[in-house]
Structure 1
Amino acid sequence: MTNRAPSEQPQKSEDGGWPQRLGRISTAVEAWRRRAEDPQPPEPQSSLATDSIEGLNVENLIWYSMCISSEHLDFALDAMRATSTMYPTAYMTVARTAFVAAVNTVWVLAPSSRQQRRERALELRADDLRAQVTSFRNMRIPKGVSEDARTEFVEQIRERQAHLQKVATTLGMKQDVTKIRFNQTNAIDWVAEHMHGVGNDLLIAGTQFVWRSGSAAAHAQYHFGIMRMDRSEAVREDSGSSVVRLRGDLETDVGPALAAATLTLSEAFRLYDLRRVRHDVSAGAV
């Protein structure tokens, strides 16, 4: 029998390194959250302003993801301070959202080609609309309740898809936007190579591990706990069975997950600031 319970106090690394790192992360996150409260639009004729075309606002899409990422990082740090408890899986779930949102921003902003940035932004938007249609179309309606509201909502999304299809045609994309599926794992792998270099296998593998661990925790997958039993406390009972208390791990799980999200969001803000400001054309800006 397995019983997972949080430790009463946050786990600390022996050299105190992770608490110090969390302090630096907190400083960065606080600055990002202040920016989210007072956003500055891209300068006219800047790279980011020019990326957007009628029917596809690239800046809105990525700014939303950046705000979501910083919000989740801020929440995780606030929860640690307020509860003094290192929960086994909850922080991993929050860190996963922060990481994914930051990755998607970098994935859109990093390419040097404006065409590729637009196509990636459109892919994210198309996948979002497709997911909305699937969600509401498959939702069960209680007996006696009219389906008119659902039908109207789905029709509205279909109209947005039709408008997005026109944008895709303008960009020379031949895909049916209603069938576009965004591959999150491929985006994470691409961003890892962009940030760490194709040959840096250790950091790339570490980034992939953070993503997969966060997904396992977020989806309550049993193997997340089983793989960590050797770190946890086993208590033998009179019946002969054991109770295993799964403890949150700052050094091995939570710390790296928050650090990966922070590093990726830092790159997102770097790219955002680079493309948000108008540069001299002679400097080679795109």
Structure 2
Amino acid sequence: MTTQPEATPTDGQASQHTKPLRELAALVLLGATAVVLFVAVLNLIPTGEFEGFTDRARDSFDNFVNLGTIGLPFLAVLLANHVQPVLSRAKLITMVALIEYAVMAFFGVIFGLFIGVVKIADDSVFNALKAFLGRTATLAVLAVAAYALVRVGRALYWVPKPKPQPGMYGAPQYGQQPGYPQGYPQQQPGYPQQQPGYPPAGYGQPTAAYPQAYGQGQPASPYGAPPQPPQATQAVPPPAEPPAEPGQQTQLINPASQFPSAGFPPPPPGLGDDPTRPVQR
């Protein structure tokens, strides 16, 4: 009669049952540490008539700082961050553990180390020296654990934002004036801007139909050169028209009184124009 070999459990099978409990275990570890610290604070309150605050503080160091209160928050952070996948509340667990370490350090140094050792020295200096050495060693363990959690938090959750480098979007590059985005031409000095109401001359439009107004269309002088006198505008004489035939009605029209087209000033009268010139209809 043969017996079949029993199946040995593997790591993958065991993790299927323990990984869902990681978040609950981490929260319980932090909660237990918080309760221990709260009870340690309550122990500082004198309860008897012959007990003082310093008497309570002398023996309070071990209530705040011990291997249990140091190891439980550290183990909670390891379960939340170092086992894959990372828990959704890993950042919260890390912050709570650091807060508990800060409470331990405050009460352990102020009440347990300074006040407690001084109170012990009143009775025996040798006992005070032993208490000082033992408590300093425990505080060193707390400092190493807190430093490790700070490094984990800074690496995973508190990453500083990088400063914008020159050449990136929104930062002016070398040789570019601020206020003008890259890719758009800048206004050159010495050239006047186009006046509103004067559309640019399109393709096929006559440019000599009307003389230019005084001061328009003249290129600006270079910087530092003396200003040039404005050039005289040359009027274009109207083409000769045949004499009016008898029976056609004539009307005297002053060219200067005509309404100009949109965007152009009224033309000044030419040198050889006659205001009483007959116009054929």
TM-score by length of 1: 0.24
**Structure with a larger share of its residues in helix:** 1
| TM-score, structure 2 normalization | 0.24
